[in-house]
Amino acid sequence: MNPIFAISKAPDYHDECVLAAFGSLDIEPKLDCSVDDFYRQARKNFIGFCLAGVQAKFGLSAGYREGKQKLMLSGQNSTYILKPCPPSYPNLASNEHVSQEIMRLLGFNVPLCGVLKFSDGTSAYFIRRYDRLAESKMHQEDMLAALDIPNINEHVKYKGSYEAVALTLKKIGGIQLAAEFIKRVMCAYLIGNGDYHLKNISVIYPEHEINLSPVYDFVNTHLYGDTDNLCLSLLINEPDIDTFDDYYCLKKKDFILLGVQVGVPEETIINFIDDKIATNLDKISILIENSELNVEQKLQYQTLVRERAGYLMV
């Protein structure tokens, strides 16, 4: 997410970014229809069309049409997931992109992702699929399923606690898996991701291993009026709100306590805050400044990160 100074083949995109994303500079990084046409085409022609929460999701692949390489809707064998930006959530595509890039900066596994534009100027977020093997689909299980919670409605994914998730991850994958997860919870708090629910936490099983899936669906929900710290309780037995300092602002000690409950050493939490969060605050601010969020959103995002980083370092 660096400013473009050199001349590139596609306006608004670095050549190296286009090449990394799509494998060729002959592919123009844009969608050659309006967002309304795209929705109609997706609903009419593709079984893989999915509407989850506030965002539609469907597959995208690079291919040939009319003798030219283009980005096109595709079904089950797509290379990317595409999510148009809903009008009620301004700049959500750019929000997700910069949030994912912040997670990459902090050392997490993040698939290649970015922002594309429809012909009418509407933005869409895209992310490369990570759940594909050479000849099959990689097995993936979200925490709703891992915790054996029936998926009976949209609300159940917000039930439970991060401690329960961490204990489950420890049981099925060891303490390192639990520690990695707690670091992600800290970062969700840091960037204002109030939607880190059970279906946005998954494990994958590549080649007889078990890992947390690469990071996906990280956004700053506070830009749209969310005021919660996190969407799940931190602990199984959450203290009364009066026992928390500063109007329920989570601090380093709260995440240390979460680690202690699971068996993650205190120094693991402290070292991550000191070595990753504290040392990268200026770089996070630059990423936000170089994003396509509007001026007000950039300031709000930067202010929130600085404020919460301050609490995490106390």
Cβ atoms of residues 200 and 178 within 8 Å? no
Helix axes 92-105, 175-191, angle to 10 degrees: 130
Q: 149 pLDDT exceeds 70?
A: yes
The lowest-confidence range among 5-14, 95-104, 186-195, 252-261 is 5-14
Strand partners, 127: 81, 113
Last residue of a domain, one of 72, 101, 128: 128
Mean pLDDT computed over every residue of the chain: 87
Last residue of a domain, one of 128, 151, 167: 128
Q: pLDDT tens across 244-293, in order?
A: 555 568 999 999 999 999 999 999 999 999 999 999 999 999 999 999 99
The answer to whether residues 148 and 289 belong to one domain is yes
Collapse the DSSP code of 259 into the 3-class scheme (helix H, G, I; strand E, B; otherwise coil) and give the result. helix
DSSP state for residue 239 in the 8-state scheme: P
The predicted model scores a pTM of 0.91
- Residue for token pair 């409950």: 261
Cβ atoms of residues 35 and 56 within 8 Å? no
The answer to whether residues 165 and 307 belong to one domain is yes
Centre a 10 Å sphere on the Cβ of residue 237 and count the other Cβ atoms it contains: 8
CATH of the domain at 244: 1.10.1070.20
The answer to whether residues 158 and 306 belong to one domain is yes
Question: What percentage of the chain reaches a pLDDT higher than 90?
Answer: 61
The answer to whether residues 187 and 67 belong to one domain is no
CA 191/CA 309 separation, integer angstroms: 9
Q: 107 pLDDT exceeds 90?
A: yes
CA 220/CA 13 separation, integer angstroms: 24
Question: 67 CB contacts (<8 Å, ≥6 apart)?
Answer: none
What range does the domain containing 66 cover?
15-128
